[in-house]
Structure 1
Amino acid sequence: MAVVVMAGRLLLIRRTTPEGSLLWALPGGSVEAGETARQAAVREALEETGLSVEATADLGSRIHPDTGRRITYVACRAMAGAAYAASRREVAEVSWVPPTAISQYVPRGLFPPVQEYLDHAWTIGSEV
């Protein structure tokens, strides 16, 4: 999953088909054969949002409590483009979400290492 912060906001996508109770999520998908998690995050961000990003840090992985899938979180820096629902088959909408509104999009909260990364990025006022 690509964790993209720009201008103090987190990029989230609304999937066309919810996975269980998940409707809004970070851009991401499966790691393809021969691909690293970082490469997958960069590719998926572009495919789903049209945004070119650079992977900057691994934030951890877990078995997602809603989907049962192994998810790896990768901090990414926006490099070029403007986010939009680039894959209409998968993505209905994109949103740049301020820290105060994340709980409205992700009621269960974010994976703790992702939240820690965001707290740090927002505290220093830049995308790390």
Structure 2
Amino acid sequence: MTTRTTTDKPGISAAIIVADGKVLMVRRRVSEGELSWQFPAGGIEADETPEEAAVRETLEETGLKVEATALIGQRVHPKTGREMSYTACRVIDGEAHVADADELDAVAWAALGEIPDLVPYPLFDRVQAYLDEVLPR
């Protein structure tokens, strides 16, 4: 009998989407541990790059059409043990809304100072550094 570990699962790609001085956050219908608010994210499919997955997941979850501008960084998530990729994206078209009601129950544009109220632990340092650089204080 073989036991699958979390690292055998596909990596997760998160989209870091900034517009009008705020970052897009989505609230999962079912919390993942302590986390209910997070960046749009989902599994990377076999034929995708992390950047392509971030763009696809954003469209599927929020109806927002974005393009990847830079891979911010990658890590093994300390809480989930999953390989994570974080991609900076810019909005091309659309208005963010709950497009996948099975997965999400809310979307919100959060200012830099509001993120600690939504996410119960510190962001990945590279994501935090990126947001510190691009969002007003």
Tell me if both proteins adopt one fold, taking TM over 0.5 as the criterion: yes
**More displaced, 62-71 or 22-31?**
62-71
What is the aligned partner in structure 1 of residue 25 from structure 2?
12
What is the aligned partner in structure 2 of residue 77 from structure 1?
90
Helix, strand or coil at the partner of 1:86 = coil
Q: Within 5 Å, which residues of 2 pair with 1:1-128?
A: 1-122=14-135
Deviation, structure 1 residue 107: 2.2
Q: Which runs of 5+ in 2 are unaligned?
A: 1-13
CA contact (8 A) 1:21 1:66 kept: no
Output the aligned Cα RMSD: 1.2
Q: Percent identity?
A: 48
CA contact (8 A) 2:68 2:89 kept: yes
Task: Compare CA radii of gyration and give the structure with the larger one.
Answer: 2
Amino acid at match of 1:6: A
Runs of 4+ in 1 over 4 A off after TM superposition: none
Q: Which runs of 5+ in 1 are unaligned?
A: none
TM-score by length of 1: 0.93
